[in-house]
Amino acid sequence: MPLRIVQSKQNGRLKELRRALAHPPRESSPDRRALAGIEGLNLLEEALRARLRIDCVFVAQGSEHLLKALPLPPETEILLMPRELLDSALATEAPQPIAALVEAQDWTWAHLLGGQRNVAPLILVLDGLQDPGNLGTILRSAEAFGADGVLSLPGTVSAWNPKAVRASAGSVFRLPLLAVSAQDCFARLLEAGVRIFATTVRGAQPADLADLAGPVALIIGNEGNGVSDRLAAQAAGTITIPCPGPVESLNAAVAASVLLYEASRQRSALSGGPLDHRGGLR
């Protein structure tokens, strides 16, 4: 496997990695060739399993052995460099000795609403979610509980933020994800017959009493302000998670995960099949 040695911080590919990690591309970037940066062997393996195109791999000297188990295609560029040089481009406090530039999946509305699984669509809509850890956790839960995809509204952090990518544990590579305007979001969902629920802390229908087995989209709001009044007014209804304890509200990722589980439970009960041991539907 040919390696090219890099010794300068001014190397163009290294600058590209640094830029991709500091300024992640949006989910529906006009430039479909926009590359995202990922760090660590586990995420690189997940990206390969998801069949993402691996444009360039960066590996620290002394860690070349990590490449042996990776089924990299021959066209992937591989750069070998001193550990301190690679560390200077990475975003984590304790960087791993391998990173990559990858090309994200080109998701479309058809992936979310195409009915490829022959079940009613289950979609999450993120309204101004700003914490990348929350976003990554939501993506992981969405994949685990069988959601068809996620819609990211303006003001929501990029799913390719390094913290979001790590928290998603690879789900960001596989789960359909689109960044869209609120207008396009509502128009497309309503046209497809998807009922939209806004989530709120109180004064709403308990989630277990709402019909989440049909085509539904759940709006998860900003960590501090919740779902905006403008979006809530356009939704078909509002739902909440009853909490008997003296807690005012749940973390956005926890709330989304609970609602996804409830939707999955209702769909499983309707189909007559139990949840499997991994949390998904059989």
Residues 6+ apart with CB under 8 A from 173: 46, 47, 49, 50, 52, 104, 105
Q: What is the pLDDT of residues 14-61, one digit of tens each?
A: 999 999 999 998 866 555 568 999 999 999 999 999 999 999 999 999
- Tens digits of per-residue pLDDT, 90-108? 988 889 999 999 998 889 9
Cβ contacts of residue 55 below 8 Å, gap of 6+?
35, 76, 77, 100, 101, 102, 103
> Span 263-282, mean pLDDT?
68
**Spatial distance between the Cα atoms of 197 and 201, rounded to a whole number of angstroms:** 13
Q: Note whether 60 and 81 are within 8 A (CB).
A: yes
Q: What is the pLDDT of residues 235-251, one digit of tens each?
A: 999 999 998 888 777 89
Distance of CA 98 to the CA centre of its chain: 22
| CA 255, 216, 129, 205 torsion-angle sign | negative
Nearest Cα to 197, choosing from 229, 148, 253, 238?
238
Domain spans in the chain, listed from the N-terminal domain onward = 4-103, 109-271
Please write the tens of the pLDDT for every residue from 193-237: 999 999 988 778 999 999 999 999 999 999 888 999 999 999 999
DSSP state of 217: E
Protein fold of 109-271: Alpha/beta knot (3.40.1280)
Tell me what pLDDT residue 275 has: 54
Q: Which pair of structure tokens corresponds to residue 118?
A: 């022959």
| pTM of the predicted protein model | 0.91
Looking at domain 4-103, does it have CATH number 3.40.190.10? no
